[in-house]
């Protein structure tokens, strides 16, 4: 089930993020983001277990998908699609006409997901993501919501 997340869940969201990425966000990072009234998050929860979340912001008719995190054991079940779609719907409800994002060039699964959902590449940010093996470009993508 997809439902809104609250700032009180920052530590849980940080744990999910750390389990989903090589370089996870801290509870303080998540908490600071969620203190901003333009930022919102949704979680995928099954019974009492959180499997992932998406975090975004909306301002001046635009939105940005900041992260989608799915723990490894819950991947390939359609949760990321549900989270992105729920985030997009909430962004529209907050007045967004478009959504953009950045994704690591070498993250083929995420890029395929975003393309499947209608996002189109709009640019590139060279050396945007630091990895254990150096830097990876970010691909910028955009989706018209309305």
Lookup: tokens for 77: 């079940």
Let me know if 114 is a catalytic residue. yes
Find the catalytic residue in 32, 82, 102, 129. 102
Q: Which of 114, 115, 128, 129 is catalytic?
A: 114
CB-based contacts of 138, cutoff 8 Å, min separation 6: 102, 103, 104, 105, 124, 125, 128, 129
Catalytic-residue membership of 82? no
User: Strands 62-70 and 98-104, how do they pair?
Assistant: parallel
**How many angstroms separate the CA atoms of 122 and 100, rounded?**
9
Q: Say how many CA atoms lie within 13 Å of 9 toward its Cβ.
A: 19
Active-site annotation, residues: 102, 114
């Amino acid at each position: 089930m997809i439902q809104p997340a609250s700032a009180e869940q920052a530590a849980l969201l940080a744990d999910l993020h750390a389990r989903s990425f090589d370089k996870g966000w801290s509870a303080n990072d998540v908490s600071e983001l969620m203190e901003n009234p333009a930022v919102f998050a949704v979680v995928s929860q099954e019974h009492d277990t959180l499997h992932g979340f998406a975090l975004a912001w909306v301002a001046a008719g635009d939105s940005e998908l900041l992260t989608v995190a799915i723990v490894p054991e819950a991947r390939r079940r359609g949760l990321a699609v549900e989270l992105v779609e729920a985030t997009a719907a909430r962004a529209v409800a907050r007045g967004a006409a478009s959504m953009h994002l950045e994704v690591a060039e070498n993250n083929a699964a995420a890029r395929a997901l975003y393309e499947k959902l209608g996002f189109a590449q709009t640019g590139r940010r060279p050396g945007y993501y630091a990895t254990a093996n150096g830097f990876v470009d970010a691909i910028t993508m955009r989706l018209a919501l309305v």
